[in-house]
Chain A
Amino acid sequence: MTTTAPGRFGVYGGRYVPETLMANLIALEAAFDDARRDPAFQAEFAQTLAHFVGRPTPLYHARRLGEAYGGQVYLKREDLTHTGAHKINNAVGQALLARRIGKRRIVAETGAGQHGVATAAACARLGLECIVYMGALDCERQRPNVERMRLLGATVKPVDTGSRNLKVAINEAIRDWIANPENTHYLIGSVVGPHPYPLMVREFQRVIGDEARAQFARVAPRPDAVIACVGGGSNAMGIFAGFVDDPHVELFGVEAGGAGGATAATLNTGRPGVLHGALSYLLQDQEGQILNTHSVAAGLDYPGVGPEHSFLKDTGRAKYEVVNDAEALAAFRDACALEGIIPAIESSHAIAFAKRLLARRPGLCVIVNLSGRGDKDLPGLLAKGLV
């Protein structure tokens, strides 16, 4: 489609939502533009990142992992943030923005539960009401995070329709927002959704890339490559933001290949379409029905992807690779055994690709975004005998 509407990355993005939400999106776009230029807002955001989130996070030289894989591996330790994943950067940013525009009720979706926990924490801190929609399947496989959200004062609403995962959680969060447009802010957790979300979430996450670039500059001018997992793609957009303007740094997004033919590798096997308000690559059938996905990683188990990733794929600036469940689980064990770090199963997909890249091109120096920690995965993985 050709259009002059705002919020496009090439042809991707846009704003495909029911009319009831348009007023909110237009107001949110203006509020975000305003907040971005307001030094007081930026100062409060920076202060919150430093003292509540625990930034900057280290850029850790994982020597034993590098030796085992045949190159140099640096891990950007988003797993060490408060609540244990990069999701908190965006959650505190949007919660501050919601308070600024007078929205006291927050709805959010969550897949792995990390965004739900981050949102619950950000809301508790500001005294905002928090409702988190979570697929019933994900509630089962990410039990510890359900308990965490409840402890932090959030209401968790399991969604027992359709695929029972992240996709239907987003459907329900959007429907809640349609029903409560006046008092509610939808705190979306990834670089997906209608404009201005993909842009706004990237800007709240770019601190990952900005820090990593500055930290790495003390070692060498630049890494050869930056690697991050991609579900919706917010940790990847966050770290890519620090390197995308440097053509000497290769960017790799890693999608979840699932197992036995069932996949969540949207950019590799989908084609453009509209889901959850944006035009982007999408796993769909010939009729435009959204396909069910599979990944061992709840946070990557999503048939869509952020529109800016679609743009980066088409322009060739970033490459998108596929890692399956078994490879991710092997990388998970590597990080535990060689570095004493339990990574999220989502982030393990990025580590697994580092292994493949270094096997192909030994001696490269790569930064892997370790987007979250794996404590939340242990009950599910142990119960299935996967680790």
Chain B
Amino acid sequence: MTTSAIQKAFDRARVSGRRALVPFLMSGYPTRGDFRAALARAATLADVIEVGVPFSDPLADGPVIQAAAARALQQGTTLAQTLEDVTGIEGPPVVLMLSINQVLAGGAQMFAQRLKAAGVAGAIVPDLPFEEAGSLRAEFSARGLELLNMLAPTTAPDRMATIAQSARGFLYLISSAGVTGTRDTFPPETLAYIRRARELSRAPVCVGFGISRPEHIRQLADADGFIVGSALIKAQGEGRDIKDVLQPLHAAL
């Protein structure tokens, strides 16, 4: 098995003595041009970039990302446009985040072919739990793409072992119960949960949902990487430079 682009990105971060940073941007938000500019700026500080393809009814997302998706959809953002915009980006590997219904719209096989053709490294499909992912995983594996597994604090121990042990690329840890969006602090058991996942997983573990400040990264320092989404989207919405959010986080890695 060859080492994937995602794995290599985490390896590079580790070798330089820090954890990985995974910024999340919404395709087409606030405009297509702004998104492309943000992508280029994020690339200078990111190890992997997660790009959301907007969906009309995202169940796992809080108000900030919901609103960004709605705005991106109003402007006609599509999967095809997203793939065009991420093709040939200099630097970090890109993974897409979208709903299973967007995958099924053109079929799992077609979806995998399109990602491969665009040079995308993999995908996160939050409403596709492990048991339902068989056919998409097969289409991805056949093309060297990564379907990223997810864990939640509510995941039972035996199920956690199954999911963590088969993780490829990186294992996405949902930090705590709830939808995406900033949290002030994380409960003390979050760190124990990260450690457990890390022991079980062959792939690096990356924490998302509510990561917005350097102290979060310091508190959850046992993770291999951190995903930052709503905090960036919020900054974009307020017309601020995403680097102002990313730089302090990068410094805490």
A residues whose Cβ falls under 8 Å from a Cβ of B = 1-5, 14-24, 26, 161-162, 167-168, 171, 174-175, 178-182, 272-277, 279, 282, 284, 286-290
Contacts and interface: CB of A to CB of B under 8 A. Distances in A.
B170 interface: no
Contacts of A286: 105
A171 B151 CA distance: 21
Given A178-B177, A180-B177, A287-B105, A19 B55 contact: no
Contacts of A287: 78-79, 102, 105
Contacts of B66: 161
A17 B131 contact: no
Counting contact residues on chain B (CB < 8 A from A), the size range is: 35 or more
29 contacts: A1-B135, A3-B135, A5-B131, A5-B132, A15-B131, A15-B132, A16-B129, A18-B60, A18-B174, A19-B126, A19-B130, A20-B153, A20-B178, A22-B152, A24-B154, A162-B70, A175-B60, A178-B59, A179-B178, A182-B154, A273-B105, A274-B100, A274-B127, A279-B104, A284-B101, A284-B105, A289-B73, A290-B56, A290-B101
Nearest to A277: B127
Contacts of B155: 19, 22-23
Contacts of A162: 56-57, 70
A113 B74 CA distance: 30
A20 B154 contact: yes
Contacts, number: 129
A253 B57 CA distance: 26
Contacts of A18: 59-60, 126-127, 129, 150, 152, 174
B128 interface: yes
B196 interface: no
A181 B60 CA distance: 13
Interface in B42-83: 55-57, 59-60, 62, 66, 70, 73, 78-79
Interface of B: 55-57, 59-60, 62, 66, 70, 73, 78-79, 99-106, 108, 126-132, 134-136, 150-156, 159, 174, 177-179
A3 B59 contact: no
A16 B70 CA distance: 22
Contacts of B126: 18-19
| Highest count of chain B CB atoms <10 Å: which of A22, A24, A162 | A22
Contacts of A282: 101
Given A175-B59, A175-B179, A178-B59, A19 B131 contact: no
B156 A23 contact: yes
A76 B231 CA distance: 54
A276 B100 CA distance: 11
A178 B178 contact: yes
Contacts of B135: 1-3
A182 B177 contact: yes
| Highest count of chain B CB atoms <10 Å: which of A4, A273, A289, A290 | A289
| Highest count of chain A CB atoms <10 Å: which of B128, B129, B150, B155 | B129
The 7 A-B residue pairs with the shortest CB-CB distance in the complex, in nearest-first order: A288-B105, A20-B152, A179-B178, A288-B102, A18-B60, A23-B154, A19-B152
B97 to A, nearest CB: 12
A182 B156 CA distance: 13
B177 A19 contact: no
Contacts of A3: 131-132, 134-135
Nearest to A179: B178
Contacts of B73: 289
Contacts of B174: 18-20
Given A26-B156, A179-B178, A180-B177, A16 B127 contact: yes
A220 B248 CA distance: 78
B249 to A, nearest CB: 24
A9 to B, nearest CB: 15
A144 to B, nearest CB: 28
B57 A167 contact: yes
A255 B157 CA distance: 44
Given A18-B60, A18-B152, A161-B66, A274 B101 contact: yes
